[in-house]
Amino acid sequence: MLAASTLSLSVVSTAGFLLARLANRSSFCATQHGLGFGMMASAISVASAGGSTIAAEVQSNGDVTAAAAAFAGDAGSSPKRRRVSSDVTTRFPITVVEKQPRRLVVIADVHGDLGAFAETLLAAGLVDGTGNWAAGETVLVQAGDVFDRGDSDLEVEEWLWTLQEQATESGGAVYHLLGNHEIMNAMGDHSTASPKSFEPFQDLNVDLAPFGSQLDKFPDWGKPRLAAMAPGGPVSKMLASHSVAMKIGDTLLVHGGLRPVNFDPKSCRGATGMACLESLNRWTHEWLIGQGEMPKELWNRDSPVWTRFYSSPGGVELGEEAGADLQKVLDVTGTVRMIVGHTPQEAGINSALGGRLWRTDTGMTAMIGGQPEARQY
């Protein structure tokens, strides 16, 4: 059942903002970063600190190849399949994968830019010329913030689900993290969503009845997205399978960051150590499927999806406090590094504290204009 009550305040507060965006649709929508206009991507790999950074180098090409069109979603044979339905199967989020993967690739904030995402997948060798999984036993982690800013956030989410299924069949895996923008959307705050990104939601046939008059202040084109992403809605149920934080082998992955306070029993309702992350993933899952309240742990200055303690300002070395905090977190989780996204890094993917921290949000969406990159180990 849709948890309509969770939308009541956020819907009203953002209605005017979205209505203003509709009136200025043509000026608001940025030109999307894509491969569909005579562009091909190649890869540059820069080795550092036990891994390497993959940069998608865009090169001019006179022909729009079938592969590029498929990546950008322009071809009739696009590899994306509609994964959203009213009876979507919700999986419980993963907290720990003990086995060290043969290859781990992390792609951070995509923000609805299907073209930039496609460039990164191609440069990392994760997909073939038809956009299907081609990386065998590789493990891919998308580090949150698929939604908002760009025009194609639902399509990116659906593509990730398709790749997840294909990777599993090949002995690999695709994992998703929740970012602050996924949380905002589930709360009813779509104030940073592109007006065009509302269009694919029209095809989902979401039941609006549970919301009563709460959606009356919104134009009809906005209502399906709001309902689909509200707790208990079909897209929110997809997000419910995403982790707030997870450990894969010797690597800790989280959108914003983790500090010692996140492992304090007072913050974990009595849990300690990795059980804190397991509990937070469970509480968030229950909220997103419409069977619980939003965890207060997601909405404070130390929230794992909101903190910028390690990532802002970008590209700089961190001080003793950050180093001490990070080491405590790594010790508690039994990991050697933490990978975060959330804060765009003008210099691209970069590290601090001797490679114990990696900042991977490059602002790849066209609205920010950063370089599409991925980090691999």
**Number of neighbours of residue 46 by Cβ within 10 angstroms:** 12
Look at residue 32 and tell me whether its pLDDT is greater than 80.
no
Confidence of residue 97 (pLDDT cuts 50, 70, 90): very high
Residue matched to tokens 């930039």: 116
Q: Is 322 exposed, middle or buried (0-12, 13-18, 19+ CB in 10 A)?
A: middle
What is the percent of the chain where pLDDT is above 90? Answer: 67
- What pLDDT, on the 0 to 100 scale, is given for residue 167? 97
Query: Residue 198 is encoded by which pair of tokens?
Result: 């509302």
Confidence of residue 65 (pLDDT cuts 50, 70, 90): very low
Look at residue 24 and tell me whether its pLDDT is greater than 80.
no
Concatenating the DSSP letter of every residue in 222-248 gives GHHHHHHHSTTSHHHHHHTTSBSEEEE
The continuous run of DSSP H or E covering 309 comes out as none
- What pLDDT, on the 0 to 100 scale, is given for residue 295? 96
pTM: 0.85
Window from 13-17, 76-80, 106-110, 257-261 with minimum mean pLDDT: 13-17
pLDDT tens-place string over residues 254-308: 999 999 999 999 888 899 999 999 999 999 999 999 999 999 999 999 999 999 9
Look at residue 35 and tell me whether its pLDDT is greater than 70.
no
Confidence of residue 335 (pLDDT cuts 50, 70, 90): very high
- What pLDDT, on the 0 to 100 scale, is given for residue 36? 30
- What pLDDT, on the 0 to 100 scale, is given for residue 129? 81
The winner for highest mean pLDDT among 26-40, 67-81, 171-185 is 171-185
pLDDT tens-place string over residues 226-256: 999 999 999 999 999 999 999 999 999 999 9
Does CATH number 2.40.50.140 belong to domain 4-376? no
- β-pairing, 104-107 vs 373-376, is antiparallel
The amino acid present at 38, given as its one-letter code, is G
- What pLDDT, on the 0 to 100 scale, is given for residue 318? 94
Give residue limits of the domains in the chain: 4-376
Confidence of residue 223 (pLDDT cuts 50, 70, 90): very high
* CA neighbor of 371 nearest in space, from 48, 41, 56: 56
